A = this chain, B = another copy of it.
Amino acid sequence: MDTVFDMEKSTDLVEDYLKRCPARDVLAVLADKWVLLVLGVLRAGEHPIRFNELRRRLDGITQKVLTRTLRDLERDGLVRRAVYPTVPPRVEYSLTPLGADLGRLTHAMGQWALAHVDEIGTARAAFDERAAREPQPLSS
Interface of A toward B, CB cutoff 8 Å:
2-5, 7, 10-11, 13-14, 16-20, 22-33, 35-37, 40-41, 43-46, 57-59, 74-78, 98, 101-102, 104-105, 107-114, 116-124, 127-128
Contact = CB atoms under 8 A, between A and B. Distances in A.
Task: Sort A-B residue pairs by CB-CB distance and give the 7 closest, nearest first.
Answer: A77-B123, A26-B113, A31-B33, A14-B44, A75-B127, A22-B117, A11-B44
28 contacts: A4-B46, A10-B44, A13-B40, A13-B44, A13-B114, A14-B40, A17-B110, A17-B114, A18-B40, A20-B117, A23-B113, A24-B37, A25-B117, A26-B113, A27-B37, A27-B109, A27-B110, A31-B31, A31-B36, A75-B123, A76-B124, A77-B119, A77-B122, A77-B127, A98-B119, A105-B108, A105-B109, A108-B108
A36 to B, nearest CB: 5
Nearest to A113: B26
